[in-house]
């Protein structure tokens, strides 16, 4: 049978083989763990990127909405200011010119003859026209006599 030395040698061989097998198993497990860790890191990285993109889009929408609101307020303020300036301009320049025009019209109306004066003027003009026609006929009659 086997002696103790043979059994020890077999035990040492078995220990060596078991140690080598354990090292190979540990190395394979480390490799598999590394692959899984890289896969998990990639998955986490993708998830983080997706979450960041969603947040970025949300922030962009919010900022865009705030900018739109601010621009709308500024536009309203500009329009209000322009309307105010236009009103001031109309009140000062246009109203003043209309008042001057109205004063000029009043002066013209004051100088205009009344209806009675116009009747008198019309009758005098009619009389003058008749007189001129008579004189023209007389002059025309005298021309052949020359």
C-alpha 136/C-alpha 143 separation (Å) is 11
Report pLDDT for 1: 66
Report pLDDT for 146: 61
Report pLDDT for 7: 83
Strand ranges, E, within the chain: none
Per-residue pLDDT of the chain (146 residues; tens, 9 = 90+): 668 888 888 889 898 899 989 999 999 999 999 999 999 999 999 999 999 999 999 999 999 999 999 999 999 999 999 999 999 888 888 778 888 888 888 888 888 888 888 888 889 999 999 999 999 998 888 877 66
Nearest 5°: CA angle at 54, between 48 and 60?
A: 130
Best CA proximity match to 113, nearest among 100, 101, 102, 122: 122
Q: Which H, E and C letters describe 64-97, residue by residue?
A: HHHHHHHHHHHHHHHHHHHHHHHHHHHHHHHHHH
Neighbours of 7 (CB within 10 A): 11
3-state secondary structure at position 39? helix
pTM for the complete prediction? 0.43
C-alpha 37/C-alpha 30 separation (Å) is 10
Report pLDDT for 145: 64
């Amino acid at each position: 049978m086997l002696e103790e030395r043979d059994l020890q040698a077999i035990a040492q061989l078995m220990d060596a083989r078991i140690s080598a097998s354990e090292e190979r198993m540990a190395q394979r497990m480390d490799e598999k763990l590394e692959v899984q860790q890289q896969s998990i890191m990639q998955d986490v990285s993708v998830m983080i990127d997706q979450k960041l993109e969603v947040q970025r889009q949300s922030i962009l929408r919010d900022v865009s909405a705030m900018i739109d609101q601010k621009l709308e307020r500024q536009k309203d303020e500009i329009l209000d200011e322009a309307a105010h300036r236009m009103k001031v301009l109309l009140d000062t320049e246009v109203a003043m010119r209309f008042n001057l025009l109205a004063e000029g019209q009043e002066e013209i109306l004051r100088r205009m003859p009344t209806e009675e004066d116009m009747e008198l003027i019309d009758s005098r003009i009619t009389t003058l026209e008749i007189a001129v026609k008579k004189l023209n006929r007389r002059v025309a009659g005298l021309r052949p006599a020359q």
